């Protein structure tokens, strides 16, 4: 017998649509500051963007 399908509710607003990685010849502090004060601000100005988060860690 075939397995019955599983139907689940999915909320598109609960998952990121885009992930951006930032790297460069700067300190982690400088890159984080650039991401927070420049990249985040620019992305928040794009129409339809609900939220922008800056997260990260040292690899």
Residue 48's nearest CA partner among 13, 10, 20, 19 is: 13
Q: Could you tell me the pTM of the whole model? A: 0.65
Burial of 3 (0-12, 13-18, 19+ CB in 10 A): exposed
pLDDT at residue 58, as a whole number: 60
Q: Each residue of 34-46: pLDDT tens digit?
A: 999 999 999 999 9
Q: Which sequence spans correspond to the domains of the chain?
A: 23-58
């Amino acid at each position: 017998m075939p397995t019955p399908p599983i139907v689940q509710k999915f909320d598109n607003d609960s998952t990121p649509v885009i992930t951006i990685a930032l790297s460069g010849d700067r300190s982690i502090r400088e890159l984080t500051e650039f991401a927070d004060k420049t990249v985040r601000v620019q992305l928040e100005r794009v129409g339809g963007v609900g939220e922008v988060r800056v997260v990260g860690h040292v690899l």
